[in-house]
Structure 1
Amino acid sequence: MPDTWARSLDDLAARLAAQGGRDRLLSPRSQAAYLKDARRVAAWLRDNGLEGPAQITPSALEAAFRGLRWSPATRARAVTALREWLGPQHPAGRSPADLIDRPRPTPPPVPRLSQADAAALVEGAGAPAEGDGPLRRALALRDRALMEVLYGSGLRRQEACDLVLAGLDFEHDALRVVGKGGKGRTVPMTEPAVAALRAWLADGRPRLMSGRDPAPSGRAPVFVSRSGRGLDGSTVYRIVARELRAHGRAGGPHLLRHAAGTHLLEGPDGRGDGAHLRVVQEVLGHASLATTQRYTGVTTRAMQEHLRRGHPRG
């Protein structure tokens, strides 16, 4: 790729890395996805005759999207990546990427997990078999605690990876997580999650950390691998997917997060008289109430039923 393309993309990589620094405004996963999208568009434009980024126009980007045959969801992410890439080279709001439409793809429906299914899933997570050794028992305690926290507190998988010992507040049965955009929030824990975490921290984690250099005080990850390193998102996904397969289901951590929000709204008896929608919004860390409404499948009719039951003139 000519130097003009390479220099421009190197500059993008540096700016994305800066956004993923101390304030964690952009996750490593998003950085990699944005850079990959920009590189694929740049390669297509180069192969179709453009000599450098200065020649990029809105029509050229539209042609690239048609040529790459991206789905609406991928195109939406790519437009964001291109705005990050081309924005600094143009006046505010006037880069070629700002002048093309960003599609709003309709997210596919999330498979439903019933309250009974979710309980069976987390309670059976990591169950050690008779004769398992100390390492397997330690990993079983970790997997149970991880599943309880993901479902009980509705965490994103990266939030579970980033959870540190200093973020656990057993006095108030709560944990402090850092979500998207570096925004922190305090989330309550269920009693089973508290019990599972205590067991993991007392009898599992010390075994995996034995003989290893500890992380700085307070910044040590709660969930670690058998090598003593903090779990990454792909490992968390594999753990959850394995447990789901054992129960005849497909999916990953997102299924547990969706179930947590939906079951909070449904309430223990499943009749829909559970937590207020805004409480669920705070627990899940959604910036918009509309996101929570779509995420949990709350319909206008369901909200009307809540109003009729709860309003003095309902």
Structure 2
Amino acid sequence: MTGGTRATRAIHEALPPAMREAVDDFAEHLARVRNRSAHTVRAYVADVVSLLDHAVRMGCSAPGELDLTVLRSWLARQRTVGAARTSLARRAAAARTFSAWAHRAGVLPTDVAAPLSSPRAHRDLPTVLRADQAAALVEAPDRRPSATRPAEATGPAAGTHPDAARPDAAGHRDDSAIGATRQDGPAGTARPEDEPVRLRDRVLLELLYGTGVRVSEACGLDVADVDHGRRVVRVLGKGGRERSVPYGVPAQRAIDDWLRSGRPALVVPGSGEALLLGARGGRLNPTTARRIVAGYAESLGLPRVSPHGLRHSAATHLLEGGADLRAVQELLGHSSLGSTQIYTHVSVERLRAAYRQAHPRA
């Protein structure tokens, strides 16, 4: 087993050989056959390792000895130690996925987890900007003399752009980051070297809100993924699913300005075909993109928002404007319509709020 936390690897190594082999084969199935992301593989494998460790403690010595009683006992124990409903739902999903795979692979005589129910995860309504707030955020880079201002409240030093090099949660530095802090020039004027970053920020914000793509999808775009004639971008989403997403005239202008005057100033031999670049020329990192969005939002006094918040806002505004739910599902790349339906709840809540505020009989 590769990857995972030290504790997960230690538990994996302590499992009986047949169970270790089953975990490794399951991980390969998720990565190579199901084409799941590395994050999803790590999460599911950690859950399965925990399940099999619990099974061993209940007297099982091979994965074929798993039964529904063991699965329910494992979930009950997770709840006892304080696991959230969302965590329990994911762990139950991991157990069902493992059980179905193990049955098909001949590791389990039956799909023992098929009847396993899981707690319904609580789903908070997402934070959504108003249309005017979203427009202000997207246009923020054009209203500032320098692209460095938004990070003043959040950056490591005054005048530091969100692109500035600093470790992420794992202690790694973003390859695309600026090596030195950027500051405004005399009398608040922008320095020429800041202009490419400002143009990049505008493209990033336009794409996140104008298309509703995930931040990882935006950062993964290549130059060739932009179809200027049809004004669509080719996006590689979850599970390797590809889709085409339209964008508007403002985004087209931002892309044109970036490709003409911004990207050539940042490109380096190692840039490859990446559409969005960090200030050192590497592909823009999603962590850096999140800091950029948060910095601009904070500088405007907007509610705390992330790239996913812009995605929520785009979907909600589409539905409020009369878009069909299934069309929004396709645009967002949701595999299930149920994932898209949460945005109808957001719209209903707004309608209720307007009713309570304006109707004399509310």
The alignment status of 1:124 with 2:178, answered yes or no, reads no
Which residue number corresponds to residue 33 of structure 1?
Answer: 43
Post-superposition Cα deviations, 1:138-179, rounded to whole Å, max 9, x if no partner, equal 333222211110101111222212222121011122212122
The alignment status of 1:224 with 2:281, answered yes or no, reads no
Q: 1:177 aligns to what SS in structure 2?
A: strand
Post-superposition Cα deviations, 1:188-211, rounded to whole Å, max 9, x if no partner, equal 11222112222222222223322x
Aligned letter for 2:217? E
Q: Could you tell me how far apart the structure 1 residues matched to 2:71 and 2:111 are?
A: 11
Q: Could you tell me how far apart the structure 1 residues matched to 2:22 and 2:325 are?
A: 44
Between stretches 256-265 and 125-134, larger displacement belongs to 125-134
Between stretches 2-11 and 226-235, larger displacement belongs to 226-235
Q: Could you tell me how far apart the structure 2 residues matched to 1:71 and 1:185 are?
A: 33
Compute the displacement of 1:121 (Å): 1.1
Aligned letter for 2:19? W
Which residue number corresponds to residue 298 of structure 2?
Answer: 245
Rate the CA distance shift 1:190–1:14 in 2: closer, same or farther, 3 A.
Answer: same
Which residue number corresponds to residue 100 of structure 1?
Answer: 116
Runs of 5+ in structure 1 lacking a partner?
268-273, 303-314
Q: Could you tell me how far apart the structure 1 residues matched to 2:74 and 2:325 are?
A: 41
The alignment status of 1:151 with 2:235, answered yes or no, reads no
Compute the displacement of 1:118 (Å): 0.7
Which residue number corresponds to residue 190 of structure 1?
Answer: 248
Post-superposition Cα deviations, 1:117-151, rounded to whole Å, max 9, x if no partner, equal 11111111485253255554333322221111010
Compute the displacement of 1:48 (Å): 5.1
TM-score (norm 1): 0.79
Aligned letter for 1:260? A
The alignment status of 1:264 with 2:318, answered yes or no, reads yes
Q: 1:98 aligns to what SS in structure 2?
A: coil
Q: Could you tell me how far apart the structure 1 residues matched to 2:194 and 2:59 are?
A: 57
Q: Could you tell me how far apart the structure 1 residues matched to 2:95 and 2:206 are?
A: 38
Compute the displacement of 1:29 (Å): 2.3
Identical counterparts, % of pairs: 35
Q: Could you tell me how far apart the structure 2 residues matched to 1:213 and 1:91 are?
A: 44
Compute the displacement of 1:91 (Å): 5.1
Which residue number corresponds to residue 71 of structure 2?
Answer: 61
Aligned letter for 1:294? I
Q: Could you tell me how far apart the structure 2 residues matched to 1:6 and 1:133 are?
A: 57
The alignment status of 1:86 with 2:110, answered yes or no, reads no
Q: Is the 8 A contact 2:99 2:112 kept in 1?
A: yes
Q: Is the 8 A contact 2:225 2:234 kept in 1?
A: yes
Rate the CA distance shift 1:13–1:146 in 2: closer, same or farther, 3 A.
Answer: same
Q: Could you tell me how far apart the structure 1 residues matched to 2:45 and 2:278 are?
A: 28
Rate the CA distance shift 1:161–1:263 in 2: closer, same or farther, 3 A.
Answer: same
TM-score (norm 2): 0.69
Give the count of matched residue pairs: 287
The alignment status of 1:284 with 2:332, answered yes or no, reads yes
Q: 1:26 aligns to what SS in structure 2?
A: coil
The alignment status of 1:213 with 2:213, answered yes or no, reads no
Between stretches 115-124 and 34-43, larger displacement belongs to 34-43
The alignment status of 1:112 with 2:160, answered yes or no, reads no
Q: Could you tell me how far apart the structure 2 residues matched to 1:278 and 1:89 are?
A: 34
Compute the displacement of 1:96 (Å): 2.6
Q: 1:224 aligns to what SS in structure 2?
A: coil
Q: Could you tell me how far apart the structure 1 residues matched to 2:36 and 2:192 are?
A: 38
Which residue number corresponds to residue 170 of structure 1?
Answer: 228
Q: Is the 8 A contact 1:86 1:95 kept in 2?
A: yes
Rate the CA distance shift 1:286–1:228 in 2: closer, same or farther, 3 A.
Answer: same
Q: Is the 8 A contact 1:261 1:296 kept in 2?
A: no
Between stretches 198-207 and 168-177, larger displacement belongs to 198-207
